[in-house]
Amino acid sequence: MSHSILHTVNQSPFTHSALQQCLCYAQESDSILLLENGVYGALLKHSLADKLSGKKCYAIEADLKARGLLGQELTPHIELIDFIYFVELTTQHKLVQSWY
Amino acid sequence: MSIVVNDSSIDTDKEGYLKNLSDWNEKVAIEIAYQENIELSDKHWEMINLIREFYTNFELSPAMRPLVKFTATKLGKEKGNSIYLMQLFPGSPAKLLNKIAGLPRPKNCL
Amino acid sequence: MTSSKKIGITLGHTPYGSDLAQEALDATLAMGLFGQDITLIFWGDGVFQLLKSQNSESVHQKSLEKQINAFELYDIERVFVCAQSLEQRNISTSSLCTDAECLSPTEIQKVLSTQDTLLSF
């Protein structure tokens, strides 16, 4: 088990500062998971996207699919995962911090 | 549930805590204590006034530990200990004292 | 006695706008009573919970400030606040109701990494 933190973000970065705050406290070794409305973060370009690319970043594929985002140009480096892998991620990290 | 004081009925929950804090007065305290087989002495009143001060300060019904600490700060160590409180309010001092003082049941108090 | 877990409670939401702040406080005091090793971290809009002179009677809610003042009686001793969040909101430490220790985001990262579990409110 790694000693890092899994940060989950479930709000759109276009209306809410959850992702921005998360990036303020996440270390390089931490992971970020976008879920629910948080998956809109996968559309980001520019500064926040740059910060995301430095860390291991995941998004729930079902949430992207539901919102019609799979056909859009997504931020590179984001790994699309299913719910089973989400559970696995929570066990692979020492801590989970939810941003909502 | 309710208790009757001076011919008027006062609502309580099923454990006997007052539903409306504003219903409390000294006669109500005496009646609740009587139902718990406690006759209120000056020492009891000192603690009743103290726990009401706690509630005014912190908006919390204290459980045992904070109650003991607060009592020790305000009245000294001879009174701020669980043995003293157990003697005055046998069994579950924090719960009894909150009830008699007309305060809500303390959360998380065993 | 079993050794207690180190529990980090992170508070990132405004008081009174939702139940989150009160729920965090309930959880904190309950765990304090059971002798858990608790660290509180106020960050983001959570720093507003620490402001002095709250008068929540006007919105018919319990005062968070008054309850926070009881921390010592519940053995809650490690309280941290994010200096950057305070600065962004133009709040000075003299406006806070408790003497929380101000930490930078980097120092907060260190505090987080020493916890055994986190509860995010």
Could you tell me the CA-to-CA distances from A78 to A16, A50, A52, C46, C77 in Å, in that order?
20, 12, 8, 29, 40
Residue of B nearest to C26 (CA): B107
Give yes or no for a contact between B1 and B23, defined as CB atoms under 8 angstroms apart: no
Could you tell me the CA-to-CA distances from C76 to A10, B85, C59 in Å, in that order?
30, 23, 27
pLDDT over threshold 60, residue C1: no
Handedness of CA C11, C14, C20, C22 (dihedral sign): positive
User: What is the predicted pLDDT for the residue at B61?
Assistant: 97
Q: Tokens standing for A79? A: 């790994």
Q: Choose the closest CB to A25 out of C109, C115, C117.
A: C109
CA distance C80 to chain A (A): 14
Contacts of C60 in chain B (CB under 8 A): none
CB neighbour burial string for C21-56, b if at least 16 within 10 angstroms, e if fewer: bbebbebbbebbbeeebbbbbbbbbbbbbbeeebee
CA distance C42 to chain B (A): 20
Tell me what the pLDDT averaged over chain C comes to. Answer: 95
* Mean pLDDT on B97-102: 98
User: What is the predicted pLDDT for the residue at A3?
Assistant: 75
Task: Check CB contact under 8 Å for C62 and B59.
Answer: yes
Q: Tokens standing for C105? A: 């985001």
Give yes or no for a contact between A38 and A58, defined as CB atoms under 8 angstroms apart: no
User: What is the predicted pLDDT for the residue at C27?
Assistant: 95
Task: Check CB contact under 8 Å for B57 and C30.
Answer: no
Tell me what the pLDDT averaged over chain B comes to. Answer: 95
User: What is the predicted pLDDT for the residue at B81?
Assistant: 97
Q: Choose the closest CB to A21 out of C44, C113, C115.
A: C44
Give yes or no for a contact between A36 and A63, defined as CB atoms under 8 angstroms apart: yes
Helices (H), B36-89: 42-58, 64-75, 82-88
* Mean pLDDT on C56-65: 94
pLDDT over threshold 80, residue A70: yes
User: What is the predicted pLDDT for the residue at A48?
Assistant: 84
CA distance B29 to chain C (A): 24
**pLDDT tens-place string over residues A21-36:** 999 999 999 999 999 9
Task: Check CB contact under 8 Å for C73 and B108.
Answer: no
What pTM value is reported for the model?
0.93
Q: Residues of chain C with pLDDT > 70: what percent?
A: 98
Residue B13 is classified by DSSP as -
**pLDDT tens-place string over residues C71-83:** 999 999 999 999 9
User: What is the predicted pLDDT for the residue at C80?
Assistant: 98
- Reported as a pLDDT band with limits 50, 70 and 90, residue A71 is very high
User: What is the predicted pLDDT for the residue at A16?
Assistant: 96
Predicted-assembly ipTM surpassing the 0.95 threshold = no
User: What is the predicted pLDDT for the residue at C10?
Assistant: 98
Contacts of C84 in chain A (CB under 8 A): 24
Indicate contact of B with A: 3+ CB pairs under 8 A.
no
Q: Which of A23, A25, A30, A96 to mutate to test the interface with C (most CBs of C within 10 A)?
A: A25
Strands lying side by side in the sheet with C117-120: C101-103, C78-82, C37-42, C6-11, C117-120
Residue C7 is classified by DSSP as E
- A5-9, A53-57, B75-79, C48-52: range with lowest mean pLDDT: A53-57
* Mean pLDDT on A57-71: 97
User: What is the predicted pLDDT for the residue at B109?
Assistant: 60
Q: Which residues of B are catalytic?
A: 109
3-state helix, strand, coil in chain B (%, to 5): 50, 10, 40
